[in-house]
A and B are shown apart, each in its own frame.
Chain A
């Protein structure tokens, strides 16, 4: 019986993933979305608390979101900070606090909600991809798969959710360190 935790900020993509997974057998658990503020992702204690008491899971989906604020120039440090923290740090903290709950044979998927496409966000998406590749090594030792779903290969959250559902499913049992999609986004 599967038990999949969906962790991440409130977003259309988060809802689409929960929707899609709920149509399959097994249990879907939302991990306190309010604890994940993409503008203050270093709020690690709240994230740790959100996973507290969750118990064993077979799958973990970490949804990330670039909180672009319009006041920042495309190459400014402020823009870099929000994109990198919103996408990459949220994923790291989801992996760190949710990863240990995933049982051997389980799967983790990192995914980013559609958002802006500028050098800062492209870099942050690259880091998310690299984090899934890098982490696949440590988690493989525990029999857990780690993959990423990119943002733009389809143009809507429902299709992205299908890819996520596939990667946490048993059909993808030999897929790890992989990537579905290319990573560029529609707002280019």
Chain B
């Protein structure tokens, strides 16, 4: 029997690709998903697919394909996510729904698609990517805050549903991470303003720097491993102490 595979969504992004690289390094088989097929890490075993996680037809098609290649999935890392800069007053309802459907509904849809393939896994685990932002007030990004808090609610609901089946569910909440996602937030700023923002961001963390993506990936890898086998339904802050400052 072929070995079990681990699914990573958002695997073309900063955090997702770092997780894929760590998983490949640990010899895991990969199923990588993003809007465009992500690159498989060099030497990795697995498949890579384009899929819009917020489109049920796209998810169904992707998993029809995955089912032909993979008999067992032992890990799901729901990383794909997006941001929206808009106040409550200015936000378009369609944009709000897109935020809900990618950041939360997409995680639910992928979990639903993965579950039938998890039944035979020895150590099945789901990890959902939230953010410290889900705990904070924000005039500019209320939809991001709302959906990231929603991820924790989703994990809570899944932990109740799946715990009795032996499937562990976790939430990981990073602080600022050095990825394209963070740089997009500075894209409209002058170099000096961007520098000032990033330095303020660094100082929000007790460790006085923002995270590298591999620092999130290492924690995810540990949660997926049997070493974390009695951890269930928890939210792990990987935030250099940011939540202790706020």
Binding site for B on A (CB under 8 A): 42, 44, 74-77, 80-81, 84-85, 88-89, 92-93, 95-96, 99-100, 117-131, 133-138, 140-141, 177, 183-184, 188
Q: Known interface pairs A134-B137, A135-B142. Does A119 touch B157 (Cβ–Cβ under 8 Å)? A: yes
A126 touching B105, Cβ below 8 Å: no
B141 touching A134, Cβ below 8 Å: yes
A138 touching B150, Cβ below 8 Å: no
A123 touching B146, Cβ below 8 Å: no
Give me 10 other A-B pairs in contact (C-beta within 8 A), A92-B91, A136-B137 excluded: A75-B109, A80-B108, A81-B105, A119-B158, A126-B153, A130-B145, A131-B146, A133-B137, A134-B146, A138-B142
Q: Known interface pairs A77-B56, A88-B146. Does A123 touch B96 (Cβ–Cβ under 8 Å)? A: no
C-alpha gap A81/B109 in the complex (Å): 11
Q: Known interface pairs A75-B115, A92-B88. Does A134 touch B144 (Cβ–Cβ under 8 Å)? A: yes
Partner of B137, one of A76, A124, A140, A184: A140
Chain B residues whose CB sits within 8 angstroms of the CB of A100 once the complex forms: 89
Total A-B residue contacts, Cβ distance less than 8 Å: 139
Binding site for A on B (CB under 8 A): 56, 87-89, 91, 93, 96-97, 100-101, 104-105, 108-109, 111-112, 115, 134-139, 141-154, 156-158, 160-161
A138 touching B149, Cβ below 8 Å: no
C-alpha gap A122/B153 in the complex (Å): 5
C-alpha gap A130/B160 in the complex (Å): 21
B157 touching A137, Cβ below 8 Å: no
C-alpha gap A96/B139 in the complex (Å): 13
Chain A residue nearest in CB terms to B141: A134
Chain B contact residues, majority secondary structure: helix
A127 touching B149, Cβ below 8 Å: yes
Q: Known interface pairs A134-B142, A134-B144, A138-B139. Does A126 touch B88 (Cβ–Cβ under 8 Å)? A: no
A126 touching B150, Cβ below 8 Å: yes
Can you list 14 pairs linking A and B with CB atoms under 8 Å apart? Answer: A75-B112, A96-B88, A118-B161, A119-B158, A122-B154, A124-B150, A126-B151, A130-B145, A133-B145, A133-B146, A134-B136, A134-B138, A134-B146, A137-B136
User: Which 4 residue pairs spanning A and B have beta carbons closest together?
Assistant: A126-B153, A130-B149, A122-B157, A134-B145
Chain B residues whose CB sits within 8 angstroms of the CB of A188 once the complex forms: 160
Give B167 Cβ to nearest chain A Cβ, in Å: 12
Give B129 Cβ to nearest chain A Cβ, in Å: 14
Give B91 Cβ to nearest chain A Cβ, in Å: 7
Chain B residues whose CB sits within 8 angstroms of the CB of A74 once the complex forms: 161
C-alpha gap A126/B111 in the complex (Å): 18
C-alpha gap A183/B148 in the complex (Å): 16
Partner of A76, one of B112, B146, B151, B157: B112
C-alpha gap A122/B235 in the complex (Å): 15
Chain A residue nearest in CB terms to B135: A133
Give A108 Cβ to nearest chain B Cβ, in Å: 11
A138 touching B88, Cβ below 8 Å: yes
C-alpha gap A127/B149 in the complex (Å): 6
B108 touching A119, Cβ below 8 Å: yes
Chain A residue nearest in CB terms to B134: A130
Partner of A137, one of B104, B109, B137, B147: B137
B137 touching A126, Cβ below 8 Å: no
Chain A residues whose CB sits within 8 angstroms of the CB of B161 once the complex forms: 74, 118-119
Partner of A129, one of B91, B96, B149, B157: B149
Give B150 Cβ to nearest chain A Cβ, in Å: 4
Q: Known interface pairs A134-B146, A138-B88. Does A88 touch B157 (Cβ–Cβ under 8 Å)? A: no
Partner of A130, one of B147, B157, B158: B147
Chain A residue nearest in CB terms to B96: A92
Chain A residues whose CB sits within 8 angstroms of the CB of B109 once the complex forms: 75, 77, 80
Chain A residues whose CB sits within 8 angstroms of the CB of B135 once the complex forms: 133
B89 touching A133, Cβ below 8 Å: no
Chain B residues whose CB sits within 8 angstroms of the CB of A99 once the complex forms: 88-89
Task: Give the most central of B88, B97, B136: most A CB within 10 Å.
Answer: B88
